[in-house]
Chain A
Amino acid sequence: MSTLTYESDFSSVVSGARPLPVSKAAAELRARGLEAFNTQGLPTPKQEEWKYFPLRSIADRSWQPGESGPAVFEEDLTWMAEDGLKVVMVNGQLDRNLSDLSAVKGLHCGSLASAYVEFPDLVEPLIGSIADIDNNPFAALNTALFHDGVFIRVEKGAMIEQTIEIVHVSTGDNQVFAPRIFILAEEGCSAKIVERWQTDGSSKSLTIPVVEAKVRERAVIEHIRIQDEALDSCHIGLWESDQAADSEYKAYNIAFGAEQARLDQNMMIGGEHAVARLDGVVCAHKNQIIDNHTKLDHAVPNCNSFEIYKQVIDDKASVVFNGKIFVHLDAQKTDAVQTNQALLLSPDTTINSKPQLEIFADDVKCTHGATVGQIDEDQRFYMMQRGISAEEAEGLLVYAFAAEVLELISIESVKKALEARLYDKLN
């Protein structure tokens, strides 16, 4: 239990949670979530995992249960993927009017609440089967609150060409939103998913999503998460996946937004010859605090994982990277690469970088490297000598720094949109 007390214990948020779909299993899961949340309590800075993510500014605020969002936004919705399937979630609930869910063969994509009603036998055992809510109080709180979300099922062997783009919009102030997303990628399927977290203009909201992905044998999934909320919101998420043999799961985390943002990304590789990518681009400025904790479990032999995290930090922003890789005793012939690079653009920035490799197998290749640097003066001078202004030179260099990760994204329109967004944010 916490030794520190905060003004808010989220009890009013829990008691005011929106109604669930008619499902005994979902009700049980919510009860289990509440129990896990009460057992853990809110973390204090004394807990190593939360040391650099000050919760007081969040936990001392008076939070209310999330309410339905408006029918009309102040800002126009934009889409990154060309000709993609469009899913719009407003304040944690699917908005059918704004979504474009044309039927695609081999794919089900829709509201989680509806899925509980439509195919309970499929959904009930899945939801909550991957996320570890006993070691993450906010994931537990999500579980105690969840009432809707997105359920995606890519059927066995289905090759989905269209990108599935989910835009979550949070609106209003002082509300807590707890959407739940589940992705089921069946044997041998392939799909591309873009998951965006936005606010409608400014929003002093707290969004605590849980995303679970089950990637079965031979499935190939590219999943891009883009958190770009307004700078007065807070975002604390859990993203957890479970991979079977011969699968490929490329998980990209782009974190640009929110006043305080934290993501715990846990990947379990549980089948041989699987490949996992977990890469990140973080761009923090002003007073932003962006904390990414990644955890990768190599539980079986002969798997590869790649992790590149690039962090651009300006003004007084503070960034945390904690990258755990566990290579279990049985996981021989593991090949794991982790790189973490931070680029500091002002003297008042903070970076806390902690690679953490625990290797129990004896025949593995694991490398990691963490660097912190500034703009290279020789590069800047070279560009200026060719007539490029100091600002543009800096912009280009920062962009090039982040591009190493953005280049990995295979959806051209999304990559372009992200590059433009990064450029915007830097200027």
Chain B
Amino acid sequence: MLEIKSLTAQVEEDGKQILKGIDITVRPGEVHAIMGPNGSGKSTLANVIAGREDYEVTGGTMTLNGEDLLEMDPDERAHEGVFMAFQYPVEIPGVSNTYFLRAAVNARRKAKGEEEISAMNFMKMIRDKIKLLDLSDDLLTRSVNEGFSGGEKKRNEVFQMAVIEPTLCVLDETDSGLDIDALKTVADGVNALRSPDRMFVVVTHYQRLLNYIVPDYVHILKDGKLVKSGGKELALELEEKGYGWLDEETAAAK
């Protein structure tokens, strides 16, 4: 279970406050969508869960299955099962996708006191999983994300997720820049990973992705606060009325 309570965070560099008190509880098996207009803080939330040092947590708590994530470095969070699919996957020239993934898998195994995976078993596993994302085998030997198209980069993120098998998957605007076919492939990849003990936090600007990855809960983030939570129908309502609707609602409440 992921429990976030009264979480506040600011940009490290200039002290600008972005998250102004967030409360979310994600139980195993659940998919939570975080929606919100540009600049609302939804990507910040994803990055704070992953432990990016550009943000400083100034208050509140965040635990995963009772373990304090805020005390952990990004790699330790990954060992606890946190995975973030990046909005802008990073290119790493000179490091092959396969080498990178194997290092990632073995780092997690080592942290859990398990033996390293054999090269043969590893190759078999990744060949099985790469089919899932409709990616060509030659991406395995190429450098991480280098020269990948936008769609390939996003699919590669979900492919990595399938290989690493995290407990908590955070998708940061995974739909941005995808055409409808690529969107479906990515969503199929994500849906194949859904299981009773895995949690998903799906950050998105548009409702479109949620047609394919159907959430259990939808939260709307605005100016660093959750202003509305509901079921999957909330996303549809938002799609219909636009983010401006929230302003009207807020104004009416006053």
Contact = CB atoms under 8 A, between A and B. Distances in A.
A98 interface: no
A382 to B, nearest CB: 4
Contacts of A404: 93-94
Interface string A377-401: 1110111111111101100110111
A403 interface: yes
A392 B111 CA distance: 14
Given A381-B52, A381-B53, A385-B50, A401 B107 contact: no
A383 B160 contact: no
B120 interface: no
A31 B103 CA distance: 59
A161 B52 CA distance: 52
B3 interface: no
Interface in A396-412: 396-397, 399-401, 403-404
A45 to B, nearest CB: 37
A383 B94 contact: no
A384 B94 contact: no
B92 A387 contact: no
B79 interface: yes
B100 interface: yes
B168 to A, nearest CB: 12
Interface in B98-113: 100-101, 103-105, 107-108, 111
A399 B74 contact: no
Contacts of B78: 384-387
B83 A383 contact: no
Interface size class of B (residues with CB under 8 A): 20 to 34
B94 A390 contact: no
Contacts of B103: 383, 386, 388, 392, 396
Contacts of A382: 86, 89-90, 92
A390 B86 CA distance: 18
A401 B94 contact: yes
A387 B111 contact: yes
Contact of B74 (A381, A392, A400): A381
Contact of A385 (B74, B95, B111): B74
A399 to B, nearest CB: 7
Contacts of A385: 50-51, 74-75, 77-78, 82-84, 86
A384 B74 contact: yes
Most A-side CB within 10 Å, residue of B50, B75, B84: B75
Interface string B53-90: 10000000000000000000111011100111010011
B104 A399 contact: no
A378 B164 contact: no
B131 to A, nearest CB: 21
Contacts of A388: 75, 103-104, 107
A383 B74 CA distance: 9
Given A385-B78, A390-B73, A397 B92 contact: yes
A388 to B, nearest CB: 5
Contacts of B73: 384, 390
Contact of A387 (B75, B89, B143): B75
A218 B203 CA distance: 61
B132 to A, nearest CB: 18
A400 B92 contact: yes
Nearest to A401: B94
A381 B90 CA distance: 9
Interface of B: 50-53, 73-75, 77-79, 82-84, 86, 89-90, 92-95, 100-101, 103-105, 107-108, 111, 143, 160, 164
Interface of A: 376-379, 381-390, 392-393, 396-397, 399-401, 403-404
